[in-house]
Amino acid sequence: MDAFAALADPVRRALLRALASGPARVVDLASAHPISRPAISKHLRLLTQAGLTTAQNRGRERHYALDPAGLAPVRELLGELAEEHRPRFDETVLDGLDLEVRRTVRDRRAPGQETAVHTRTHRETA
């Protein structure tokens, strides 16, 4: 199973959210869900097969932890999608355009015509 198929199930997503705060035992993870412990174990096995979790036996208990490396394909896809929606030009070009618009407006003003802000500033400094 790949990461995307594993993330398709809401129970598995909830388990990953729980594991994001740290490793946990199956019994602790199962207590937060209305399904049986064997069903939770099956979901955790699928998450492990997808590379999203790791499992470690400690005595009679099995502890699961989130494996952030397993999320790499998801991060890559999201990064690609985010890049597709970025502007196709550098936004600093807009700064130059803004400057040219301001210059044009200033140059087209009639001689002796001042804005209220400019007049107020001029009076305050005098």
Task: Report the 10 Å Cβ neighbour count for 105.
Answer: 9
Give residue 23's domain range. Answer: 3-72
Q: pLDDT value at position 99?
A: 85
In this structure, what CATH number is given to the domain that contains residue 26? 1.10.10.10
DSSP-based three-state secondary structure for 20: coil
| Residue 31: inside a domain | yes
Cα–Cα dist 87/81, whole Å: 13
Looking at the 3D structure of the chain, how many domains does it have?
1
Q: Which residue has the higher pLDDT, 20 or 91?
A: 20
**pLDDT tens readout for residues 42-100:** 999 999 999 999 999 988 889 999 999 999 999 999 988 887 766 666 777 788 888 88
Q: pLDDT value at position 103?
A: 87
**pLDDT tens readout for residues 23-49:** 999 999 999 999 999 999 999 999 999
Q: Name the burial class of residue 114, with classes exposed (0-12), middle (13-18) and buried (19+) by CB atoms within 10 angstroms of its CB.
A: exposed
DSSP secondary structure of 101-119:
HHHHHHHHSPTT---HHHH
